[in-house]
Amino acid sequence: MSYAGPGFEPPQPPRHSVRRPLAVALAVLVLGGTGGWFVWGAVADDGDRDGESLAGSGGVYPSLSPIGPPDFAADPSRPATPLAGKVVVVDPGHNPGNFKHPAEIARKVNIGTNSKECDTTGTATNSGYTEAEFTLDVARRLRTVLEREGATVKFTQDGDRSDHVFGPCVDERARIGNSAHADAVVSIHADGSAQGNRGFHVILPGAVREGAADTRPIVASSRLLGERVKAGFVRETGSAPSNYIGGGTGLDTRTDLGGLNLSTVPKVFIECGNMRDSKDAALLTSGTWRQEAAQGISEGIVSFLRGS
């Protein structure tokens, strides 16, 4: 949209095939710099007033406006990269190689409240699309979006661990976020419930103080992170909150997950859908939908970190 400025009445020059382009060129040359766009807006074709660009409405002088009009809709206080200086750890649940190492992932690790398996294989759709494949794909898409926003993004695993081809264990996943002094950690999963159980839910850490676990300092901030992720996810995917966990709120608090119990930074899990339900599986196996999921999670993280 051309912008003429408050109280500015654009002149109405006669429409002449020679005089009009000369007037435009002279105006731009005289004022130059940042004023060029202003005059261009004043003498541009009236067809541009309805929101179409001059070139799009058949104009022939776009090159005469070297500096476009400023974006008055943008918030001038908003940084170009709103997450600059922020560290986000993305935790793709499970690992594609876990199924080859049943003994290793069955090893028990301490999660504060008790001991639990190092990791699991995760679930899969009825057609064989695994949760580990799904989580890595969404995580990589999410990384791209977050890095575009200026964040430093670290993964707990990227399917290419040089020291292991499985895991990491749930306690190590927590340590990765803690050691990175992450501003936010999101662990990506998909559920494996019964047919007919549909929707997503975000898992929040409950208050735990036992052994190596003390979640009390992060309960409130993690809840806020979870609420923001939920809102972004709904907005971008259109998915409904789980109809079988969380009482329709899309939020579930747990104290039995090592990745949450051992975290010292704000952290949530998101179960993006139920892989064993045919309708949810159709979404989870769609690349378009996975991009929407990544965008929604990102929006939640950005909102949380910006405090907006």
Q: Which residue has the tokens 């976020």?
A: 177
- By 3-state DSSP, what share of the chain in percent is helix, strand and coil, each rounded to 5? 40, 15, 45
Q: Is the peptide bond before 66 cis (omega within 30 degrees of 0)?
A: no
Cα–Cα distance for residue pair 201/274, rounded to 1 Å? 10
Cα–Cα distance for residue pair 56/116, rounded to 1 Å? 61
Residue type, 102: P
Cα–Cα distance for residue pair 290/145, rounded to 1 Å? 13
End-to-end CA distance of the chain: 28
Cα–Cα distance for residue pair 201/228, rounded to 1 Å? 12
Cα–Cα distance for residue pair 139/290, rounded to 1 Å? 10
Residues that are catalytic: 271
The DSSP string of 62-99 is: GGG-SSPPP-TTS-TTS-SSTTTT-EEEEEE-S-TTGG
DSSP one-letter code for 33: G
Is 37 in contact with 71 (CB distance < 8 Å)? Answer: no
Is 92 in contact with 158 (CB distance < 8 Å)? Answer: yes
Cα–Cα distance for residue pair 234/251, rounded to 1 Å? 12
